[in-house]
Amino acid sequence: MAATVIDGKAFAARIRGQVAEHVAELKAGHGITPGLAVVLVGEDPASQVYVRSKGKQTVEVGMNSYEHKLDADTSEADLLALIDRLNGDPDVHGILVQLPLPGHLDEDLVINAIDPAKDVDGFHISNVGLLGTGQKSMVPCTPLGCLMMLRDHHGSLSGMDAVVIGRSNIVGKPMAQLLLGDSCTVTIAHSRTKDLAEVVRRADIVVAAVGRPEMVPGDWIKPGATVIDVGINRIERDGKTKLVGDVHYDSCAEVAGAITPVPGGVGPMTIACLLANTLTACTRANKLTEP
């Protein structure tokens, strides 16, 4: 029996619709418009595409979009000065510095210069600590999107066995914290995990975020498990460039109970959750009820 396909594109459209409704209510009831500032340093092609998409969707839900495009050789001091100005701007409720940054810039220093309350990526060390201790924080967008899809599909995740493949600060670690918060039993696995296939085979939920094309084959998947594929990898196949995930979709879909496709799964949810985080940051800044 083929797996249920979890349609991230459709789910993200629903979230954006809900965000747009709340934004309209904020404008009508309080005269407040949430604002998202995106900072892009350099001309990385993938980053440019992401920034354009973020800007377009920000405007579509009725928010203000502020884009700051800086030269690749921008100094650290100038970048930090811009972040300081955005921290102090009452019209800006969310700040996102597009990664990766050029090599001469210290990513940790830059991220931690953002006001934690405006850190809609959820990468600031304060938000990492708050998430890790189960307190209210800004939550990284990609794992938040994964959690929302899992909750939507399963309802309660309590007691489920979850394996997260990948230990990055952006996805793997916060994903594990969110799953723990929903009372899953969580294992973080990675490329050096012994008997990785056996570890994955026991999981009711598999979140693959390791950055290796089609690394997880179908025979690693427990029958009926839910597979969330965070990977976005460009490969050459039959003379054409193709986007694939971190799991081998066809073989996994034959075994899994549910699976996210690539593209059209986790990707659209990331930007939708960025908009939701910006809305949340705006309501907190104005001491209003969070949506």
Cα distance between residue 249 and residue 229, in whole Å: 9
Residue 54 annotated among the catalytic residues of the structure = yes
Q: How many angstroms separate the most distant Cα atoms in the chain? A: 57
Tell me the DSSP string of 50-94: HHHHHHHHHHHTT-EEEEEEE-TT--HHHHHHHHHHHHT-TT--E
User: Considering 57, 115, 119, 121, which one is annotated as catalytic?
Assistant: 121
177 is catalytic: no
What's the CA gap between 240 and 238, in Å, rounded?
Answer: 5
Catalytic one of 57, 98, 115, 177 = 98
- Of 54, 118, 173, 222, which is the active-site residue? 54
The residues that bridge with 247 in the sheet, in sequence order, are 216
Catalytic residues: 54, 98, 121
